[in-house]
Structure 1
């Protein structure tokens, strides 16, 4: 359940970036959003602390 919240936030941010941004800025924003969510889920607050 803890991993669901950042994924939902990521989906919302990706949708906003997709509609608002254009070109390389859109690509950079999407990479940053996905990287931040992956870091949070796997290292910051998700599976790394599950044990």
Structure 2
């Protein structure tokens, strides 16, 4: 059984780029959502709930 991969990422973040490069190199299918650091989207309630898991 394969698990769905969902990547939340922020433009200008080298750690995010590393993950994207690996996903692309390995030809993994994934969905993505670009978060704005400027608008503090990475600190939104939705994202913070994910970080607790």
TM-score scaled by structure 1? 0.37
More strand by share: 2
More helix by share: 1
